[in-house]
Structure 1
Amino acid sequence: MNLDQFSCPNPTCPDSGKSNGGNINLYTRYGRKQVRLLICKTCGKTFSELKGTPFWDSRLDWDTIEKIYRSLLTGQGIRATARDFNLSKNTVKRYLRLANKDYGTVLNFLQDRGVISNGDAQLRELLAQFSSRRQVRERSTGVAAM
């Protein structure tokens, strides 16, 4: 991810909300996933690259998240994907919901990792496939499936 896409989250900073300002630098990395801690050169505020994204506070490493999406994109179901990576099916469902909720961030993540190559058609198809299954279940049982 390019640092130009980030902006200072400090509401009192003159550069707050302004991306491509050149005021954001890498401060350090932290955690098992080596997440970048960024710093605003204008006000000195530090913040995580994941703050405000669907991956904030995620316990899974990047490779596992990538494998979940890769498996689902190849046509494997939720339960089979969960079984393959020794995860709960609810964890796999959560990452599908994250893709629906913050589509752009998940798409950028998958493109950066080389999972999706032909634009966003693959991810849109995946989300449409699972959302249509959910709607069918909701109509037949009267209860939300995810």
Structure 2
Amino acid sequence: MGIIVVACEEEGENETKISTYSSSESHNTGKNCMDCHKSGEPGEGWFIVAGTVYDTSLSTIYPNATVELTSKPNGSGTIMAQIAVDKNGNFYTTESVSFGQGLYVAVMGEGGTVKYMGSKITSGQCNSCHGVSTDKIWAE
């Protein structure tokens, strides 16, 4: 008599998940991704940075933008993370990001136009504020 052990990947496991320009597997556009994508919750992968980018209307998603986190304002200093915005307008990563005393955000549209966030961030839960207590993230 033998024993067979079967291992399955469980939801909520901390697996690697990083958005890409060509991907369309993301969901829940505009919601706080970290409500589910964190330890103890059902989302696959524990996101470190995640959010949604819209066009200038703030109602239509903006795919294929790039979100960059830097150590100094206006895109200067060291690039700490560069994250592609997928086909659904969402960006996310489970890769480690050191926020330290705070990072600065730049959002680059496909045409090269860059928008800078004026204040630094210490959390990557972008949709916990954007679209709730402050304007949505947008690109052009």
TM-score (norm 1): 0.21
Asked which structure has the greater RCO (Cα within 8 Å, sep 6+), the reply is 2
**Which is strand-richer, 1 or 2?**
2
- TM-score w.r.t. the length of structure 2 is 0.22
Higher-helix-fraction structure: 1
Larger Rg: 1
